[in-house]
């Protein structure tokens, strides 16, 4: 697991607290201490047991720090999947929503509308998917007008960690100058979603309880890493 300490290349320097530090790799010596560096070939007959123990402790400490870095990256990657940035448009929340139809995918900018029972998409936003539209009915839009609707059966609707399959969305031929708005994400998708809006950071946190648990774990790792980095392998006298 570790190389034989009796044959190791040992580097010795004194840190800013006046402690002697022994390491087995030049890369572990901070640049500011290299001017005082002493490199030497040692054997067990010349290295004291305390020095051997210190070197072993330093290796263990560096291994623990490396494991913390790996675990931190894993947690941060999981947290990124549970965060979705949004934009404000006329005081409405616009979300990037990925839809799939017939093996093709497209990301639409949809208004998050908890007052809409179904998801409504603008017809012109779907043209690149060449969808098959079905006859629908009528719907009242935000400005009070009643418009004719069609329907489209999507393979999936996806945002953040949530993916709903076989969703039937309403489609309207919208001519109201919607800007970047390409439809509404309704409660047929949002009903089972757990989320928390952060207006200051302009993002949505999905599964807020799980997200907070990951944040707490990340904080613990950061504290542990600081403790390991500030620790010295040389015992206090």
Q: What is the pLDDT of residues 84-129, one digit of tens each?
A: 999 988 888 999 999 999 999 999 999 999 888 889 999 999 999 9
pLDDT at 234 over 60: no
Q: What is the pLDDT of residues 169-225, one digit of tens each?
A: 999 987 765 567 899 999 989 988 999 999 999 999 999 999 999 999 999 999 999
Same domain, 188 and 124: yes
Residue 112 forms part of a structural domain: yes
How many Å apart are CA 99 and CA 163, to the nearest integer? 10
Structure tokens at 198: 């952060």
- pLDDT-derived band at 141 (thresholds 50, 70, 90) equals low
Query: Which has more confidence, 26 or 208?
Result: 208
Query: Which has more confidence, 136 or 46?
Result: 136
Residue 76 forms part of a structural domain: no
First to last CA, the chain: 31
Q: Which domain holds residue 200?
A: 82-212
Instruction: Write the CATH number for 202.
Output: 2.40.70.10
Residues making up the chain, counted from first to last: 237
Structure tokens at 232: 């010295």
Nearest CA among 108, 102, 170 for reference residue 133? 170
pLDDT at 30 over 80: yes
Q: What is the mean pLDDT of residues 48-76?
A: 86
Same domain, 33 and 121: no
Residue 115: predicted pLDDT: 85
> Which backbone phi and psi does 200 adopt, to 5 degrees?
-65, -45
Q: Are 155 and 117 in contact (CB under 8 A)?
A: no
3-class secondary-structure state, position 205: strand
Residue 25 forms part of a structural domain: yes
Residue 229 forms part of a structural domain: no
DSSP labels, 46-108: TS-HHHHHHHHHHHHHHHHHHHHHHHHHHHHHHHHHTEEE-EEETTEEEEEEEEEETTEEEEE
Same domain, 21 and 112: no
What is the count of structural domains for the chain? 2
- pLDDT-derived band at 43 (thresholds 50, 70, 90) equals very low
Q: Are 112 and 92 in contact (CB under 8 A)?
A: yes
Residue 225: predicted pLDDT: 92
């Amino acid at each position: 697991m570790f190389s034989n300490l009796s044959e190791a290349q040992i580097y010795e320097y004194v840190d800013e607290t006046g402690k002697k530090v022994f390491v087995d790799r030049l890369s572990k010596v901070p640049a500011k201490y290299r001017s005082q560096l002493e490199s030497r070939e040692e054997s067990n007959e010349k290295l004291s047991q305390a020095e051997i123990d210190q070197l072993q402790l330093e290796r263990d400490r560096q291994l623990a720090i490396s494991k913390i870095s790996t675990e931190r990256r894993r947690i941060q990657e999981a947290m990124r999947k549970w965060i979705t940035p949004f934009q404000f448009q006329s005081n409405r929340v616009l979300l990037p929503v990925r839809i799939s139809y017939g093996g093709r995918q497209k990301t639409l900018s949809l208004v998050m509308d908890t007052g809409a029972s179904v998801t409504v998409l603008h017809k012109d936003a779907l043209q690149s998917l060449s969808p098959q539209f079905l006859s629908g009915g009528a719907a009242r839009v935000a400005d009070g007008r009643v418009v004719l609707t069609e329907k489209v059966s999507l393979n999936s609707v996806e945002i953040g960690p949530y993916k709903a399959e076989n969703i039937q969305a309403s489609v309207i031929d919208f001519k109201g100058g919607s800007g970047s708005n390409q439809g509404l994400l309704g409660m047929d998708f949002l009903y089972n979603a757990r989320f928390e809006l952060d207006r200051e950071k302009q993002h949505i946190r999905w599964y807020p309880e799980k997200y907070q648990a990951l944040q707490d774990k990340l904080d613990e790792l950061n504290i542990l890493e600081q403790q390991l980095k500030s620790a010295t392998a040389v015992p206090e006298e």
